Amino acid sequence: MLRTRRPAILLAVLGILLSLLVTPAQADQLQNEPISFPSGAKTLHGSIVGPPPDGVRRPAMVLVHGSGRVTREKVRREAEAFAAQGVVSLIYDKDVSAYSTVSRDFSALADDAVAALAYLRTRPEADPARTGLWGLSEGAWVAPLAATRSDPAFLVVVGGNGVSPVRAQSWSYRRWLGHQGVTSDAVLDLVSSTATRIAAEAGMFPEADFDPVPSLERLRLPVLGIWGGKDNQSPPGDATAVYARALAANPSYTMRVFPDAHHALIRTTTGFDRLDALAPGYPELVGSWVHGLGAGAPPSTSDTPPAQAEPAPPLTPLAWWESLWGQAVALLALVVAFAGYPLTARRRRPGLAAARWTSAAGLLTLTGFFAFLVTVVLSNGQEVGPVVAGRPLLWLVTQLLAIGALVAAGFTAMAWRRSGTGRIRLGLLLGGAVLLVPWGLYWGLLLP
């Protein structure tokens, strides 16, 4: 991998010259034309954003979205910034007919990007020979796949992942939990490994095991990869290393790192906040690089990979007892055991108050467990509430409830043999307490 700075210097000089020749347009002066184009049997809607039309055909890009049920407005800021650099962009509303938090198809999204590229090349303001693809985050998985199905003049990826979606999410969980003060290895492993692997098996991570490498290895066109050095959403150090290996046979790739930028090349101070501005120099880099391709593809260059606190560890396959069905059976058994006693007891018997405490604490433990997992999933691990003693408060309370259930079960066991009736119900309740021990150890509930 070449590391000479000469091409970078040439690009910087070219950017300065272009800034003198291309007068940045105000947003209200830019071209902003609504358009529609076919993609298979459906019609997608978007906009052409670029410098005011003057009869000149310019370099152009299709902007491929990041994750979420987003419209063209999500990337309009980038499109307007590129327009100020003399680059035309096509932005479009993502087809969300089959897109959700648990269902998406990168292949179908790539087909939409290919259709957008074909349409953009027919536009009078776009130079067909200088029209390419730009992909952000999830779009950096989709755009290279689209590039293998078409013939773009170039590819720009921003915040591209070198690992699968589920590994990137696992790494991000640990980063955000640590930022909030979570230091308990049991909680970190619970969220980033145990729960993540089971959720992936349950289909809660769409395209969980998508591998970006095969698409990258097939590329033989100029590629510009850009990463934020303070990215905590996906591992940037792993990404640059994977891209360097995958693009080794590609004659022209350029990899740049903005040290004080977030995942989406937004300015940041800590890596966990987002300032309301693109990283300084980012639009200018894209503009100068794209315009510079007119003089021929530059030799491959790469910045020093960004520092990364820890690698994205591989996620091991689930053992049979860890599987979704194994855990579902265990949870059902716990619910039946703890809920069975109060539902079937006809009247309160003296001396069996411990049984009622066992039942209540067990059910509350399961409730707290699910509440914590839902909190993590809905916030992507970025908002887990107050943290006490290195653990989220909700999780700490759930741990105390689990211990309380086991203590109460001990007193229940002493009363079990003295009980004249209801032994079956008490036996079932105590069986749930016994099962709670290995289950709680597996999920970290009974670990420090």
From CA 414, how far away is CA 177, in angstroms rounded?
41
Residue with tokens 């070449």: 2
Looking at the domain assignment, is residue 182 inside a domain?
no
pLDDT of the chain, 448 residues: tens digit per residue: 333 444 444 444 444 444 444 444 555 689 999 999 999 999 999 999 999 989 999 999 999 999 999 999 999 999 999 999 999 999 999 999 888 877 889 999 999 999 999 999 999 999 999 999 999 999 999 999 999 999 999 999 999 999 999 999 999 999 999 999 999 999 999 999 999 999 898 888 889 999 999 999 999 999 999 999 999 999 999 999 999 999 999 999 999 999 999 999 999 999 999 898 999 999 999 999 999 998 899 999 999 999 888 889 889 999 988 999 999 999 999 999 999 888 776 555 555 788 899 999 999 999 999 999 999 988 999 999 999 999 999 999 999 999 999 999 999 888 777 665 567 888 899 999 999 999 999 999 999 8
| 11 and 133 inside one domain | yes
- Is 227 within 8 Å of 307 (Cβ atoms)? no
Give counts: helices (H), strands (E), the chain: 14, 11
From CA 134, how far away is CA 59, in angstroms rounded?
12
* Lookup: tokens for 193: 């490994």
From CA 164, how far away is CA 181, in angstroms rounded?
26
- Is 431 within 8 Å of 177 (Cβ atoms)? no
In this structure, what are the phi and psi dihedrals at residue 71, rounded to the nearest 5 degrees? -110, -175
From CA 178, how far away is CA 174, in angstroms rounded?
6
* Lookup: tokens for 280: 């300084």
Looking up residue 16, the CATH number of its domain turns out to be 3.40.50.1820
From CA 109, how far away is CA 99, in angstroms rounded?
10
The 3-state DSSP class for residue 127 equals strand
| 131 and 35 inside one domain | yes
From 302, 330, 346, give the residue that closes a domain.
302
Neighbours of 116 (CB within 10 A): 25
Ranges of beta strands (E only) in 222-294 are 223-228, 253-258
Nearest 5°: CA angle at 238, between 252 and 313?
Answer: 150
* Residue 219 CA from chain centroid, whole number: 24
Residue with tokens 């021990």: 437
Ranges of beta strands (E only) in 207-324 are 223-228, 253-258, 301-302
Looking at the domain assignment, is residue 149 inside a domain?
yes
Q: Identify the domain containing residue 229 by its residue range.
A: 6-164+210-302
| 258 and 384 inside one domain | no
Looking at the domain assignment, is residue 177 inside a domain?
no
In this structure, what are the phi and psi dihedrals at residue 190, rounded to the nearest 5 degrees? -55, -50
The 3-state DSSP class for residue 55 equals coil
Q: Residues for the chain: how many in total?
A: 448
| 224 and 335 inside one domain | no
| 329 and 298 inside one domain | no
Domains of the chain: total: 2
